[in-house]
Amino acid sequence: MKLPAELKHILFETPELRRAYLVGGCVRDGLLGRPQKDFDIEVYGLPYEALQRCLTRWGRPDLVGRSFGVVKLSTSSGATYDFSVPRRDSKTMPGHKGFEIQLDPEIEPEQAAARRDFTINALMLDVRSEKILDFFGGEKDLRNKTLRHVGDAFPEDPLRVLRGMQFAGRFDLTAAPETLALCRSIVGTFKELAPERIREEWFKWARLSAAPSAGLRFLRDGGWIEHFPELAALIGVRQDPGWHPEGDVWNHSLHACDAMAGLETWKQADEESRIAWMLAALCHDLGKAHTTSEEMKKGRLRIVSHGHAERGVALAEAFLQRIDAPLMYRQRVAPLVADHLVHIAPLSDRGIRRLAARLAPETILGLIQLITADHSARPPLPPGLPTTARQLLERSGDLQIAQQAPRALLMGRHLLEKGMTPGPQMGIILKAAYEAQLDGLFDDLDGAMAWLDGVGKMYIRAGGK
Residue by residue, DSSP assigns 313-328 as HHHHHHHHHHTT--HH
The amino acid at 263? L
Q: Which pLDDT value is given to residue 116?
A: 92
Q: Which pLDDT value is given to residue 464?
A: 43
Residue 329 — φ and ψ, nearest 5°?
A: -75, -40
Residue-wise pLDDT tens digits, 9-61: 999 999 999 999 999 899 999 999 988 888 999 999 999 999 999 999 999 99
126-135 long-range Cβ contacts below 8 angstroms, 24+ apart: 126/21, 127/3, 127/8, 127/11, 127/12, 127/20, 127/21, 127/22, 128/11, 128/12, 128/18, 130/1, 132/27, 132/31, 133/21, 133/109, 135/109, 135/110
- Average pLDDT for residues 405-414, to the nearest whole number? 94
Percent of the chain at pLDDT > 90 equals 82
- Average pLDDT for residues 67-91, to the nearest whole number? 88
Sheet of 131-133, strands arranged across: 60-65, 70-74, 80-84, 40-43, 20-23, 124-126, 131-133
Query: What is the chain's alpha carbon radius of gyration, rounded to the nearest angstrom?
Result: 28
**All residues at 6 or more sequence positions from 211 whose CB lies less than 8 Å from its CB, including other chains:** 168, 169, 171, 172, 258, 261
**Cα first-last separation, the chain:** 74
Residue 166 — φ and ψ, nearest 5°?
A: -75, -30
Query: Comparing 364 with 36, which gets the higher pLDDT?
Result: 364
Q: Among 103, 64, 110, 65, which residue's Cα sits nearest to residue 86? A: 103
Q: What's CA 373's distance to the chain center, in Å?
A: 16
- Average pLDDT for residues 428-441, to the nearest whole number? 92
Residue 191 burial (10 A CB sphere; 0-12, 13-18, 19+): exposed
Residues 211, 230: Cα–Cα separation, whole Å: 21
Predicted model pTM: 0.91
* Residue 312 pLDDT > 50: yes
Domains of the chain: 5-150 (3.30.460.10), 412-463 (no CATH)
Q: Tell me how far CA of residue 327 lies from CA of 3, 43, 222, 273, in angstroms.
A: 39, 41, 29, 14
Query: Comparing 323 with 416, which gets the higher pLDDT?
Result: 323
Residues 273, 271: Cα–Cα separation, whole Å: 5
Looking at residue 49, the DSSP 8-state letter turns out to be: H
Residues 136, 143: Cα–Cα separation, whole Å: 14
Which pLDDT band holds residue 104 (cuts at 50, 70, 90)? confident
Residues 301, 295: Cα–Cα separation, whole Å: 6
Q: Which pLDDT value is given to residue 465?
A: 41
* Residue 338 pLDDT > 60: yes
* Residue 449 pLDDT > 80: yes
* Residue 67 pLDDT > 90: no
* Residue 432 pLDDT > 70: yes
Which pLDDT band holds residue 92 (cuts at 50, 70, 90)? low
Residues 233, 374: Cα–Cα separation, whole Å: 19
Q: Among 134, 132, 195, 203, which residue's Cα sits nearest to residue 170? A: 203
Question: Apex CA 87: angle with CA 135 and CA 132, to 5°?
Answer: 25
Q: Tell me how far CA of residue 397 lies from CA of 351, 357, 375, 402, in angstroms.
A: 14, 15, 21, 5
* Cβ–Cβ under 8 Å, residues 354 and 438: yes
**All residues at 6 or more sequence positions from 362 whose CB lies less than 8 Å from its CB, including other chains:** 276, 331, 332, 333, 335, 336
Residues 331, 279: Cα–Cα separation, whole Å: 12
Alpha-carbon torsion angle 142, 144, 145, 147, nearest 10: -80
Most confident of 37-51, 124-138, 221-235, 434-448: 221-235
Q: Supply the DSSP string of 134-168, one letter for each residue.
A: -SS-HHHHHHTTEE-B-STTGGG-THHHHHHHHHH
What is the enclosing helix (H) or strand (E) of 304? strand 300-304
Residues 396, 117: Cα–Cα separation, whole Å: 48
Q: Among 289, 169, 249, 179, which residue's Cα sits nearest to residue 217? A: 169
Q: Among 175, 250, 162, 262, which residue's Cα sits nearest to residue 210? A: 262
Residue 254 burial (10 A CB sphere; 0-12, 13-18, 19+): buried
Counting Cα atoms < 13 Å in the Cβ hemisphere of 5 gives 1
